[in-house]
Chain A
Amino acid sequence: MKARLYKGWMLALVIALVTVVVSACSGNDGNKEEGSASPSATSSASAAESASSESESAYKDKYDPPIEISTVWGVDPALKFKNGETIENNIATKWALDTLGIKINSLWSVTDTNNAFVTKMRLSMSSGQEMPDVVTIGDVQLAQDLIETGMFREVGSLFDQYANDKWKQAMELDPGVWNPYIRNGEKMGIPVLDYAYNHDYLLWIRQDWLDKLNLEGPKTLADLETIMDAFRNQNPDGLAPDKVVPLSIGFKTTMNSWMGDPSWVFGAFGTVPGQWNETPDGSLEWGSVNAGAKQALDTLKQWRDKGYIPAEAALWDENKTAEPAVAGTAGIIPGPYWMSGWPLVDTAKNVPTAVWKPYAIPTGPDGKAGRHGTYFTTAVTLINKDMKKPEALFTYQNYLFDHLADPAIGSEWDLGVFKGYDYDLDASGNPLYLEKIPGGDVNINRYWLVRDGARIPDAQMKSLLALADGKEPETRLEKEVKNNYGTETPAAAKVLLSQPDISFKNKFTGPATATMQSKQDYLKKIELQAFNEIIYGKKGLDEFDKFVASWNSSGGEQMTKEVNEWYATTK
């Protein structure tokens, strides 16, 4: 017994020793980091000096001798290369060197599966590795964290000084795009613009069913109920009532998503749930606690009781809502304008007679309609504070905004950008696209320094509208949407823009506030729980008022206050 006790003490001693050694080691690591930090600090000081000494005419259309911009890449696994090229060395990097005198220097690249790029970026951030001159980040949280590190510089002054008019005009379409990246009044990142309205909703309805039933498209929620009832109880394809999903929606994790959610039902009562909406008095309000939500929940409950929406909608996520739509058993699915291309194009494989047509969002009893809106930006470009010639990024991007974003007919890149890559010419000089290009096409838009090169938010919509009015495709963008998107997409774009004023944008785009960090999850949890229990009839409609009260007392009120304080700083 005594011997065992002694051994036990020895074991404890060993563990204690090991712990001491461990903590000593980690202490050393910390010192090393501090040591390595100082040289980079001095180099940034010298960079600032050299920048100031040549501040006159720093911006050039072409740099001679060539200069370097370092970057890092998350490569889409589906991205193809040809002629033995890589992301580090390809037709676009060669073009940048030849035309602009800019050498793209890749620090590292990673195939972006399972969020590998974000992980690698996070690791290099936390282990103090060299940060690239220019990096484009799509992940909101990572972007906020990178800005927080202080390794990236203020960019607003650079943008004002160097960006060309075309880029500035594109950015001015929505001045709110800067908001997420403003710190103490300074713009810390350049928003990457994307095509507008990508997530704004409309309704896709089976036109062949409507025609067989002699019904018009819905204008109001009441019309919609008539249609759903007919789809279910007098199904034109002869499906039994319990086999039809008249309206395919789901809300497993949120009532406000990118496909198949019920947010527009709330919109008919003047609010959009799960986001911060601007109220008439100019303050921000969490859409789910607006009084309109109560009526919307009542409507959804009745629809569930009548079998208009899936019995297990609370278990359905976005992709699940597409399943009955593709299988041909759903009559209506809400979603973005591009759904004609995916997933609805596949319905015809299962039901050859199926025809999907886009319809506007129906109005509620008071004539209101609403849907969630889309920001014009999907990512942000950060510039390293040690970058010696930040104006070079603008040389690069200005060229793309001038020549790539919306090229005029007959201009340099009208037919395509790189011959043999995204287009080719046949013997008589006619352009060839996609698989007709010898060796196949590659998506060169992913080769640019900034993802997707340069996009003007309303350019694609304008092209789609032109096509919807029966215009023959002429400009490159028009040809692109004609060739690459589903047949109903132009019509859907027109339907979408017939209701330009009903989109509610989430007006809060800043970093998470203190209360948000500690309370957000709980508040979302009680919200989803209350909403689902009302829709499923487990609790009465009065539960909504209880939910609002406990939402406010459990931190919601404080969060609203903080959000409005942030909002005041953006005006």
Chain B
Amino acid sequence: MSHFKRSWPFHLMVLPALVFLVVFNYLPMAGITMAFMDYKPWLGFDGSAWIGLDHFRALFDREDSIQVIWNTLVIAVFKIAFNLIVPFTFAILLNEVRQRFLNRSIQTLVYLPHFLSWVILGGILVNFLSTDGGFVNRILGVVGIGPIFFLGDGDWFRFTVVVSEVWKEFGYSTIVFLAALANINPALYEAAEVDGASRWKQTRHITIPSLIPMAIVVGTLSLGNILNAGFDQIFNLYNSLVYEKGDIIDTFVYRTAIVEGDFGFATAVGLFKSVISMILIIVSYRLAYKLANYRVF
């Protein structure tokens, strides 16, 4: 109790944030009930009929639902993997650029695409990757590789989606690793130099091991996105030629639920995704705790 007397101003300070959290994060959770209802906005929560698990059944009844979930997983896994490897490598390379101005300029340049929206980038990519006269295919033509229909061929579509996403986001993710690099104790490098370690040996034995915990954290957190393959990107790039390999859960929900106004179904799919993500986060959090001694709570 005396403890509380001393700390009540802090509790007071945290109160607004707590109220915000409750009002905007916990109250809306009641809406989850929509997933089990034939929800009609004008009837509200009281009037809409309960239909149990029908929405979930509908999700798995569709002939293409396995395909759609598989597409989502494949695209998301590749994105998560490359969004980890590329920034990790890039941060180490950038760290070796000793000229401050050059270092900073590169950092800013690779960071910029993060701020472009996929609506704009989608339009640019369609022209850029076009088979008649697109920039990429003209370059490939010079070296004798026949035009590739990047956005019209299923496998190339996945490739394009992953590469363009990584290109757009790796600069942003690099920042985290650069911050971790700045935290490495310079004394380690000094000691290594005294011992006669080469640049490569310093990287291998000091830089990379120091970055691994951060990589595990980033990887763990991104596992929650395993069912998010990036709606706005896919939606702006996909077409009927690549449905087989490119249609993901979110685009499918957009077409069936949002366009048709079936909020109950949209909620059910959202809930399904959240449950899977939560399980994955819990599992990976346990792993991160074990492997890297990383703890949030």
Our verdict on whether A and B bind, yes or no, reads yes
Interface membership of chain B positions 237-275, coded 1 if the CB is closer than 8 angstroms to chain A and 0 otherwise:
001110110010000100110001110000000000000
B22 CB within 8 Å of chain A: yes
Q: Is the CB of B27 within 8 A of A533?
A: no
- Of the residues A18, A145, A528, A533, contact of B41 by C-beta under 8 Å: A145
A172 at interface by CB-CB < 8 Å: no
Is residue A357 contacting chain B, with contact meaning CB distance below 8 A? no
**Set B30, B130, B240, B256: member contacting A529, Cβ < 8 A:** B240
Closest Cβ neighbor of B123 among chain A residues:
A320
Query: In the complex, what's the smallest C-beta–C-beta distance from A89 to chain B, in angstroms?
Result: 31
* B31-52 to A contact mask, C-beta < 8 Å, 1/0: 0000000001110111000000
Judge whether A25 and B27 touch: CB under 8 Å: yes
Whether the pair A242, B240 counts as a contact (CB closer than 8 A) is no
**Given A26-B30, A126-B44, A518-B58, A141 and B239 touching (CB < 8 A)?**
no
Is A436 positioned at the interface, with any CB of B under 8 Å from its CB?
A: no
A342–B119 alpha-carbon span in the complex (Å)? 25
A19-B261 contact given A126-B42, A126-B44, CB 8 Å threshold: no
* Contact digits for B259-297, partner A, Cβ 8 Å, 1 yes 0 no: 011100000000000000000000000000000000000
Name the residue in A34, A526, A529 with the highest tally of chain B Cβ atoms < 10 Å from its Cβ.
A529
Task: Count residues of A near B (Cβ-Cβ below 8 Å).
Answer: 43
Beta-carbon contact of A148 and B151 below 8 Å: no
Among A309-317, A365-373, A439-447, A448-456, which stretch is in contact with chain B? A309-317
Interface flag for A517 (CB, 8 Å): yes
Q: How far is the CA of A429 from the CA of B30 in the complex (A)?
A: 68
Q: Are A311 and B132 in contact (CB under 8 A)?
A: yes
Q: Assess whether A283 is interfacial by the CB under 8 Å rule.
A: no
**Is B243 a contact of A529 with CB atoms below 8 Å?**
yes
A528 to B255, CA, bound (A): 14
| B63 and A554 within 8 A (CB) | yes
Q: Which residues of A contact B261 (CB under 8 A)?
A: 141, 145
CB distance from A123 to the nearest CB of B (A): 9
Q: Is there an interface contact between A521 and B256, defined as CB atoms closer than 8 Å?
A: yes
Q: Is A115 an interface residue (CB 8 A)?
A: no
Interchain CB contact under 8 A, A312 and B152: yes
27-78 of chain A: CB within 8 A of chain B = 30, 33-34
Does chain B have a CB within 8 A of A94?
A: no
B62 at the binding interface (Cβ < 8 Å): yes
Residue of B nearest to A144 (CB): B261
Task: Say whether A521 contacts B255, CB under 8 Å.
Answer: yes
Known contacts A145-B261, A311-B131, A532-B240; is A33 also within 8 Å of B26 by CB? no
Give chain A residues whose Cβ lies under 8 Å from the Cβ of B152.
312, 314-315, 536
Interface flag for A345 (CB, 8 Å): no
| A22 at the binding interface (Cβ < 8 Å) | yes
On chain B, the residues within 8 Å of A148 by CB distance are 40, 42
A512 at the interface (CB under 8 A from B): yes
B63 closest partner in A (C-beta): A554
CA A178 to CA B64, docked complex, whole Å: 37
Distance in angstroms from A148 CB to nearest chain B CB is 7
Task: Give which listed residue, A128, A512, A529, contacts B244 with CB less than 8 A.
Answer: A529
Closest A residue to B25 by beta carbon equals A18
Is B139 part of the contact surface with A, judged by Cβ < 8 Å? no
- Whether B29 is near chain A, meaning CB under 8 Å from some CB there, is yes
Inter-chain CA distance A525–B252, complex, in Å, is 10
Docked Cα-Cα span, A310 to B134, in Å, equals 13
CA distance A314 to B131 in the complex (A): 12
In the complex, whether A122 has a CB less than 8 A from a CB of chain B is yes
Asked whether any CB of chain A lies closer than 8 Å to the CB of B188, the reply is no
Distance A34 CA – B44 CA, assembled complex (angstroms): 11
Is A163 interfacial (CB 8 A cutoff)? no
B184 at the interface (CB under 8 A from A): no
- Tell me, yes or no, whether A468 is within 8 Å of chain B by CB: no
The residue in chain B whose Cβ has the minimal distance to the Cβ of A142 is B261
- How distant is the Cα of A373 from the Cα of B22 in the complex, in angstroms? 53
**A314 and B240: CB pair below 8 A?**
yes
Contacting pair B260 A141 (CB below 8 A): yes
| 0 or 1 for each of A513-541: is its CB under 8 Å from B? (1 = yes) | 00001101110011011011100100000
| Chain A residues whose CB sits within 8 angstroms of the CB of B64 once the complex forms | 522, 525-526
Q: A122-B41, A522-B64 are in contact. Are A18 and B247 (CB under 8 A)?
A: no
Residues in B whose Cβ lies below 8 Å from that of A151? 42
Question: Does A23 belong to the interface (CB within 8 Å)?
Answer: yes
- State the CA gap A563–B244 with chains docked (Å): 29
CB distance from B296 to the nearest CB of A (A): 13
Question: Does A125 reach chain B (CB closer than 8 Å)?
Answer: yes
The answer to the question of A149 belonging to the interface, with a C-beta cut-off of 8 Å to chain B, is: yes
Q: A19-B29, A311-B132 are in contact. Are A33 and B240 (CB under 8 A)?
A: no
With A19-B26, A521-B256, A522-B63 already in contact, 16 other A-B pairs whose C-beta atoms are closer than 8 Å: A23-B30, A26-B30, A126-B42, A128-B44, A149-B42, A253-B240, A311-B132, A312-B151, A314-B152, A314-B241, A315-B239, A517-B260, A521-B252, A528-B240, A532-B239, A532-B240
Pairs across A and B, CB under 8 Å, 24 listed: A30-B44, A30-B45, A33-B44, A34-B46, A122-B41, A125-B42, A126-B41, A126-B44, A148-B40, A148-B42, A252-B240, A311-B131, A312-B130, A314-B241, A315-B151, A520-B260, A522-B62, A522-B63, A525-B64, A525-B243, A529-B240, A529-B244, A531-B240, A532-B241
